[in-house]
Structure 1
Amino acid sequence: MNWDDTPEEAAFREEVRAFVRERFPESYRPAGDEEQSLEPEDVAGYNWPVDRVADDPGRRDGARAWAEALAERGWIAPHWPEEYGGAGLSALEEFVLHEEMMRARVPTVNGIGAFLLGPTLLVHGTDEQKAAHLPPIAKGEATWAQGFSEPGSGSDLASLRTRAVRDGDDYIVDGQKVWTSLGQYADWLFVLVRTDPDADRPHRGITFLLIEANAPGVTIRPITDIRGAVPFCEIFFEGVRVPVANRVGEENRGWYVAMSALGFERAGIGATIKYEQALAELVTYLRSPDGRRFARRSPALRQEIARRQTEIRVLYNLARYTVSRQAAGDEPDFEASINQLFGAELHQRLARTGARAFGRSAALWEREGAPMNAAFTHMRRDSVASTFLGGTTEIQRNVIATRGLNLPRS
């Protein structure tokens, strides 16, 4: 396949580059020593949902100004229709926009709301839900978190136990979610709940609800990860009233809505650019006077780096293929799972390559005085979660086997 830009795409790429140079706020600088979210679309040193409420006024104002600049163009949610605050861009134009933002190392805005919930509402939401929720996302005024995983129901998501019982025009929700990325900073949550405990198959009794994060009965507790950061939380629901109008799709059919959301989650370009930049920085360092002493220790390191470079190009092509399917009018399916699986395992391989390059120095956690400011030490900790974020490798392989290869489920 030929992924070269058309003349129109090349012109749009230049437009994006000029926009970033001219409109990215000077005060919004990366925080290099802070641990960031684990989401693939995040840029090192930035975490927009956190930055927009930061104590540092320069960082907070910069994050909000950047959101306003993007919203003027409809570029927070560029693929959405203009009536909801998007720009009506094609899937390929959206891909170019995010690719150039990642290459410029400036953050996207409203990640989970813009990349997951918004496209899901466009497919499954009512007109009222679209009108109520899409414009605030597209303006950077409301942030969202995904409430799917539970204690004991991570990989086996269909076994979830959070209950919702119909009571007139409301559902009464009780249960717990865990590992909710940035849930402590969210204004809204999209949550899977069980509405039919007697369904013949577990996934047939699940419903998809939109819940305000500050609703009475919702308790959010941050969780500290292996790095000492707090990128996610656990959420408790105790008698939370949720209007039936906040149900997306039919009752007991929320599983299929959720699969759409997860398909959008697995289709991004962000990880590819991050890995490409990290590997380029490793090579540059190993060629420097300070880095040559590490390069000499491993004669096979050159071949290993070459393999990582090849794999990154494969991942890029997988992302381009996935977006080409979207451009043709298809929702991401098993192709997006291939992308997710390959990217997650590549993240871990790349982290191990960096660790091997630095030998015992790869154990240094403090950035000051460490080779490359301990970038690959931190990457190795980050990568531990890669193979279960957005669906474990086992789940991805099952999706690829059953939907892509038409293999039997048992």
Structure 2
Amino acid sequence: MNWADTPEQAAFREEVRAFVRDRFPPAYVPDPEAEQSLEPEDVWGYNWPVDRVSGDPARRDGARAWAAALAERGWIAPHWPREYGGAGLSALEEFILQEEMMRARVPTVNGIGAFLLGPTLLAHGTAAQRAAHLPPIARGEVTWAQGFSEPGSGSDLASLRTRAVRDDGGTTRSGEAERGGEDTGTYLVNGQKVWTSLGQYADWLFVLVRTDPEATKPHRGITFLLVDATAPGVTIRPITDIRGAAPFCEIFFEDVRVPAANRVGEENRGWYVAMTALSFERAGIGATIKYEQALSELVGYARSAEGRRFLRDDTRAALRQEIARRHTEIRVQYNLARYTVSQQAAGGVPGYEASVNQLFGAELHQRLARTGASAFGRYAQLWQRRDAPLGAVFTHMARDSVASTFLGGAAEIQRDVIATRGLKLPRSR
């Protein structure tokens, strides 16, 4: 396939590059000690949801200034309609925008709210929900987190147990009272979510709850709710990972009152709303560019005088072969991303192809991390970035990559989707 830009796309690419050069706040520099949130669109040294509430004024102001600059163009949610703060870009233009931001190593803004929740509300939300929630996301003023996974209900999401019971006799929270013509009842929510990425920094949560425990099939009887993260009864506890960072959290709901007007779609039909949300997973260009840049840095380092000092001499021939394999795989990943976005541009919704992309990218992440860490031998045990060869990039990548094959969907689930939906293989009996 020929992925060359059309003249219009080439002009837009130059526009993005000029915008980044001119508008990215110069004081908003990477934090060398920061760990990433593990999301594919992470850029090393930045974590925008964390930076926007940082205790460091320069970092906080830089994050907010960058969000304001993007919001002027509608580029926080570039694919949304302009009426909600988007830019109305095509799928290919959005792809180019993200690609150039990743190549420039500047952070994206408001990721999960912009690319998961927003399209879901556009497809299933009420006019009031869209008007209330979409513009603040597009301005970078409100952040969201996804409350799906639970203890014992991660890959098997349909087995979730967080309950929501209709309580029309209850009262809504101040400021969330009746909205003209909408359901003014409430749900009483109890349960727990876990592995919620950056939930401790979120203003709002979109959550799956069980509203019909007697449903004949597990994926039925589930409802999709929008929950204020500051509501009484919501407790959020960060979870520390093997790197010493806290990119996710666990969330407890104890008699949390949620207005029924915050239900997206029909009661007991939340599974189908959630599947819409998950179909909007990004094409994977962010991860592809990160891997490409990491491999390029390894090659450059291997050719340097410092690299000849610290890299293992006994593995240089094998390293060349491994680098060639990783380079080929990265190009495959890029083409998978372009194929996915080309489907979207043609009006389709990626199906099993999204699972192919996710699985291939996750395993590539781990292979690339092993390649880099192996090249440094004993030096790959150095964790502190300062004074470590190549800033301990691959030591940290090796830890990051542990989560790749279950983050965003376990590898086993992805293979099942590819086999049954893509290859049409029969399910085992």
Q: Is it true that 1:374 corresponds to 2:375 in the alignment?
A: no
Q: Verify the 8 A CA contact 2:32 2:385 in the aligned structure 1.
A: no
Q: CA deviation at 1:329?
A: 1.2
Q: Where do 1:271-290 residues align within 5 Å?
A: 271-290=287-306
CA shift for structure 1 position 384: 0.3
Residue 216 of structure 2 aligns with which residue?
Answer: 200
The runs of at least 4 consecutive aligned structure 1 residues that moved more than 3 Å come to none
Provide the residue aligned with 1:57 in structure 2: 57
Greater CA drift, 17-26 or 195-204: 195-204
1:114/1:137 contact within 8 Å kept: yes
Query: Which sits farther off after the overlay, 48-57 or 293-302?
Result: 293-302
Cα distance change of structure 1 residues 286 and 401 upon mapping to structure 2, 3 Å threshold: same
Verify the 8 A CA contact 2:372 2:394 in the aligned structure 1.
yes
Corresponding residue to 2:285 among 256, 269, 273:
269
The number of residue pairs the alignment matches comes to 410
Q: Which residue of 2 aligns with 1:401?
A: 419
Select the residue among 296, 309, 324 that pairs with 2:313.
Answer: 296
Report the alpha carbon displacement of residue 308 of structure 1 after superposing the two structures with TM.
0.3
Separation (CA, whole Å) in 1 of partners of 2:38 and 2:291? 13
SS at match of 2:257: strand
Q: Secondary structure at the match of 1:192?
A: strand
Matches of residues 211-290 of structure 1 in structure 2 within 5 Å? 211-290=227-306
Whether the 8 Å contact between 1:80 and 1:89 is mirrored in structure 2 is yes
Residue identity opposite 2:41 in structure 1: E
Alignment of 1:86-235 (within 5 A): 86-168=86-168, 169-235=185-251
- The structural deviation recorded for 1:369 is 2.4
Task: Tell me whether 1:364 sits opposite 2:382 in the alignment.
Answer: yes
- Deviation per residue, 1:259-298 (Å, 9 max, x gap): 2222222533110000000000000000101112425321
**Where does the alignment leave 5 or more consecutive residues of structure 1 unmatched?**
none
The CA RMSD measured in Å over matched residues stands at 1.0
- Is 1:47 the counterpart of 2:47 in the alignment? yes
TM-score by length of 2: 0.94
Q: Deviations over 1:282-329 (max 9, x none)?
A: 000001011124253212110111000000010011111111111111
Q: How far apart, in 2, do the equivalents of 1:195 and 1:267 lie?
A: 33
Give 3-state SS (helix, strand or coil) of 2:314's partner: coil
Q: Cα offset for 1:119?
A: 1.3
Identity of aligned residues (%): 82
- Bigger mean CA offset, 345-354 vs 114-123: 114-123
CA distance in 2, matches of 1:373, 1:248: 45
In the aligned structure 2, how far is the partner of 1:332 from the partner of 1:28? 35
SS in 1 for 2:279: helix
User: Matches of 1:249 and 1:318 in 2, distance apart?
Assistant: 32
Quick one: distance in 1 between partners of 2:332 and 2:325?
11
